[in-house]
Structure 1
Amino acid sequence: MVESTAQGGAARQSRRAAIVDLGSNSVRMVVYEGVARNPVPIFNEKATLRLGAGLEATGLLSEEGIERALEVLSRYQAIGQAMGVKPFDVLATAAVRDARNGAEFVRAAQLRMPEARFRVLNGEEEADYSATGVLCALPDADGVVADIGGGSLELIRVRDSAYFDAGTTPLGVIRLRERSDDDVEAASKIARKTLADVAWLEDAKGKPLYLVGGAFRALARLHMARTDYPLNMVHLFRLNRQEAVEMAEWVVGASRKQMEKVGNVPRKRMIDAPFAAQVLLALLDRTEAPEVIFSAEGLREGWYMREVAARVADEEPMQALVQEMEGRLGRNPSFAEPLYMWLTSVFLERLGWKKDSFLALQFRLACMVSDVGSYDHPQYRAEQTYRRILYCHGVGFSHESRAFLALVLAGRYDIDRDSSVLEPSRRLLSKDYYEAAIQLGQAFRLVYVLSAGTETLLEGTHLTIKDEDQLVLSLHGGRLRSGGNAVSRQLNRLAESLGLEADLQ
């Protein structure tokens, strides 16, 4: 069960867990609050160290990187202590495990962080955590997870909420750049030769690629900015094969100046971007993947699900999130099921939404989160609720789902359909899905005017489509008649949006 605010703020603060992800290129500390199916980060800080720079040639961690790392880890120790985190884990990856001075560095780091538990992950463990992170967001993922770092590329086969064939390759962007002497064409040959030796990839041909890691995220951010994508959110950003190839080939051929002009990526990432693009092109050829799905959930979230939130791992992430939101921001969480049942005969049965898996799921989720704007200022309620849903932190929401649910809730609060605020939904949704969201939002508006969000006032009423051209609302008893004008007005608006005639009985 998802932890709710009914338990009070103290309950949420009673459990804070922190992970420090010590990679070849950067170090990041994330503090999570509470135990929920959707990780709730309350502190997130990254420092670029390039600890693995020069490792290919020297076999040693960078001296400059070590000095900087120890300074940053001292700061993270102070933060963890002040925030009262437990567990407090440091996970070191490819650079530290491969360097001859890796063990010496860990001993020095432990002196700076005496309250933290240090682990140097082997390649399979690193891959395991990355796969768990992807499955945290996408329990139904079926394909290949590719997690790129500075020193290595982890590859994992995922299917049926489980993972197989986890392993590591020396295709991290820093290492690949050094092995190829900064030659992107040479890097392409190295990547393709390395992937050709991963035999099990043959069995995953034709399945999607799930891309994890900062260098892959940089590719996505460049593409979003270059194409003016309406949602600057990498997590669950999707591209078909053709789009992914075009994106990667543009990065390979672009100059540093061209990438800087596009923007949306830290300059320190731009030097690695062409090498990440060559790895992606090699992966696309090796796996024949029909699409790529970017995931911001990787090693850190995998650690969270296994070490902190294992007891809620089986919950469906989207339903867990909307339940938590409605419980925290709505007036009556128990109203979701009566609302769902009251509208089922029209939307799922007569309008055929149950035949469309996307609409059927969004219908259920929308009912669960239908009242989250109830405490917002009425003048800004529609826009605020739209943005809250569109930009919420939740690991399971696809971009299309965000756009749909946000539009439903904006309609429920009577937003102007021509508002520029709705532009992301216009661009992310098909025309049919856009109209469906408008219709469901109008239906919610009718229900809340009719019932004030209470099961009691909804009892004994019925909404149905009769003779294919009439939307009939039946009110039994006299207690709702006094609100007839307001109810009639909303019924007429819903009927008009559905192309039907309204009949209030």
Structure 2
Amino acid sequence: MTRWKELSGANERTAEMEPIGVVDIGSNSVRLVVYEGAVRAPTPVFNEKILCGLGRSVATTGSLGTEAVERALAALSRFRVISHILSVKNIRVIATAAVRDADNGGDFIERGERAIGAKIEVLSGETEARLAAQGIMMGFIDADGVAGDLGGGSLELIDLAQDHLNDAATLPLGGLRLIDTTGNKIERATEIIDGALASLPWLRNGAGRTFYAVGGTWRALAKMQMDRVGYPLRVMQGYRLTTREALDLCEQFRKSKKPFDLPGITGVARARREVLPFGALVLERLLRQMEPRQVVFSVFGIREGLIYGLLPAYERARDPLISFCEDYAALRARSVEHAYELCAWTDMLFSDPSLEETADERRLRHAACLLSDVGWRAHPDYRGEQSVNTIAHAGLGGVDHQGRIFLALSVFHRHETSEDTGALLSERLRSLVSKRVQRRAKILGAAIRAAHMLSIGMAGVIDQTPLSYENGALVLTLPPAYAALDGERLRRRFGALAELVGKRAEVRISG
């Protein structure tokens, strides 16, 4: 983290953002998402989907069903009015497999464009795969593996390694299409799925890497798993399963005589349940063919990939986590400049060899500093509890669940000194991370707590009160102008910090 003053333009950047809307006409649902702006970490301000089932009968009849078309057109008309209310001048409308493959797709496009008041772009399978990959690039750093986006009509697959897109394909394996093709007989689907996957020998390049699962059906499977194991985070982005865990989950559908009675399924929308067995079977056969190391679920897909494609190169190069935290601090913290100063102040603390950190740990520490004051408006007795809930479930990208928990616990300890105090969620989160992560979160929280005794959350103070290590002591040096800030409460907090890093506490007045 450098150039703190330059970064303080986050407030202005956020205020200048113009909303952008994306309408996704899929084979199962029609959805409108309105984002604050086309930025590296886009925040949705409105998100609504309507399950229309456009692709329900395309495989057998070749056409979009009349009832499905009318539902979709009604959704588009509603979305046009919503976009007007939200002052969305820039709206992109895309249509995928069902409209692309249907005989009457052209007629639907004409009527749909009148309903939404905008041009509808019908994506090719190749473009769908590329946008799905760009969605993964929007939500993850240095993504490496195969991304799969399962919709109602098709499955898009693409190999990506960091910013490079490699082999890609689209297959007719969407949930609704398989229901239509097999007459809703799942036992007939295995041969169809295996035959389609066998046409892609490059899938074996995914062995030992990550499979990024995109699409509402696969997210519903992951939600079932979360419910079954009592997973404390209700966040899908970055949720991961080992390949064995994912296969076990999928096999339950194949082996169950009553798949709609499986544990956790009550948390899945009824309209989504019918495609779950087929989505689970596609995932199972895909994992057996590819043999990846793990499955990581993503809420970032073709819509976010579309936004990513609109970004200039310098915006794409930004860290999505830091970008989000900068904007969030600009909106919620008392002083975003103070948050930047905390990053530099804690750099001095973590310079001791005993606190050596990886590049990713340093990045997470900076992100926690940026988020450290977002709960200041809450009642003092509940700042820790509210902060841990807000940060643990925030719309963060570029971070896994371990990192997300570190951020939440760090800010929790910035407000709460005892692990026995505060939110039940914080106790459950600690059980998911290592002792190292817990210790780092406690140290960082204590450091931010001590810093606020000096700065009162305002910029321009702690950059004049450096930390250093000397002869087994953690030294805090105050300039004469701030000598009166020294006192019992400061020494108590600073002493607690020094104890956590195994040092004596020493406060000095310079000059």
Give the 5 Å matches for 1:298-309: 298-307=301-310
> 2:95, 2:407 → 1: CA distance?
39
User: Which of 183, 195, 199 pairs up with 1:181?
Assistant: 183
User: Which of 426, 431, 446 pairs up with 1:427?
Assistant: 431
Range moving further from structure 2, 394-403 or 287-296: 394-403
The alignment status of 1:450 with 2:429, answered yes or no, reads: no
Is residue 38–residue 395 contact of structure 1 (8 Å, CA) maintained in 2?
A: yes
- AA aligned to 1:174 is L
- AA aligned to 2:376 is S
> 2:88, 2:464 → 1: CA distance?
52
> 1:375, 1:274 → 2: CA distance?
46
> 1:335, 1:276 → 2: CA distance?
48
Is residue 446–residue 493 contact of structure 2 (8 Å, CA) maintained in 1?
A: yes
Paired position in structure 2 for 1:379: 381
Q: TM-score, normalised by structure 1?
A: 0.92
User: Which of 131, 148, 151 pairs up with 1:149?
Assistant: 151
Consecutive unaligned residues in structure 1, runs of 5 or more? none
TM-fit CA distance, 1:430: 1.6
User: Which of 28, 32, 35 pairs up with 1:32?
Assistant: 35
Is residue 256–residue 270 contact of structure 1 (8 Å, CA) maintained in 2?
A: no
TM-fit CA distance, 1:437: 0.3
Is residue 253–residue 259 contact of structure 2 (8 Å, CA) maintained in 1?
A: no
Give the 3-state SS of the residue equivalent to 2:168 in structure 1.
Answer: strand
Paired position in structure 2 for 1:352: 355
The alignment status of 1:18 with 2:13, answered yes or no, reads: no
User: Which of 73, 76, 91 pairs up with 2:76?
Assistant: 73
User: Which of 295, 305, 316 pairs up with 2:319?
Assistant: 316
> 2:164, 2:483 → 1: CA distance?
52
Is residue 134–residue 295 contact of structure 1 (8 Å, CA) maintained in 2?
A: yes
Give the 5 Å matches for 1:157-236: 157-236=159-238
Give the total of aligned pairs.
499
Give the 3-state SS of the residue equivalent to 2:218 in structure 1.
Answer: helix
Paired position in structure 2 for 1:55: 58
Paired position in structure 1 for 2:4: none
Give the 3-state SS of the residue equivalent to 1:302 in structure 2.
Answer: helix
Is residue 2–residue 320 contact of structure 1 (8 Å, CA) maintained in 2?
A: no
Give the 3-state SS of the residue equivalent to 2:21 in structure 1.
Answer: strand
Cα separation, partners in 2 of 1:261 and 1:399, compared to 1, 3 Å? closer
> 1:282, 1:63 → 2: CA distance?
33
Q: Over residues 149-187 of structure 1, what are the superposed CA-to-partner deviations in whole Å (9 max), with x where a residue is unaligned?
A: 011000111112131222201111111223333333332
Paired position in structure 1 for 2:338: 335
TM-fit CA distance, 1:398: 2.1
- AA aligned to 2:22 is I
What fraction of aligned residue pairs are identical, expressed as a percent?
36
Is residue 260–residue 273 contact of structure 2 (8 Å, CA) maintained in 1?
A: no
TM-fit CA distance, 1:223: 0.7
TM-fit CA distance, 1:462: 3.9
TM-fit CA distance, 1:309: 6.9
Q: Over residues 75-127 of structure 1, what are the superposed CA-to-partner deviations in whole Å (9 max), with x where a residue is unaligned?
A: 122222333323222211101111111112212222322x2111111101111
Give the 3-state SS of the residue equivalent to 2:486 in structure 1.
Answer: helix
Q: Over residues 28-55 of structure 1, what are the superposed CA-to-partner deviations in whole Å (9 max), with x where a residue is unaligned?
A: 1111223322112111111111111122
TM-fit CA distance, 1:482: 5.0
Give the 3-state SS of the residue equivalent to 2:45 in structure 1.
Answer: strand
Give the 3-state SS of the residue equivalent to 1:242 in structure 2.
Answer: helix
- AA aligned to 2:404 is R
| Pairwise CA RMSD | 2.4
> 1:157, 1:112 → 2: CA distance?
36
Cα separation, partners in 2 of 1:459 and 1:118, compared to 1, 3 Å? closer
Range moving further from structure 2, 161-170 or 80-89: 80-89
Cα separation, partners in 2 of 1:234 and 1:93, compared to 1, 3 Å? same
Give the 3-state SS of the residue equivalent to 1:80 in structure 2.
Answer: helix
Give the 3-state SS of the residue equivalent to 1:479 in structure 2.
Answer: helix
Is residue 207–residue 287 contact of structure 1 (8 Å, CA) maintained in 2?
A: no
User: Which of 62, 86, 94 pairs up with 1:83?
Assistant: 86
Cα separation, partners in 2 of 1:452 and 1:112, compared to 1, 3 Å? closer
Is residue 207–residue 293 contact of structure 2 (8 Å, CA) maintained in 1?
A: no
- AA aligned to 1:327 is A
> 1:479, 1:74 → 2: CA distance?
62
> 1:278, 1:228 → 2: CA distance?
24
Cα separation, partners in 2 of 1:120 and 1:461, compared to 1, 3 Å? closer
Is residue 234–residue 295 contact of structure 1 (8 Å, CA) maintained in 2?
A: yes
> 2:403, 2:139 → 1: CA distance?
14
> 1:366, 1:99 → 2: CA distance?
49
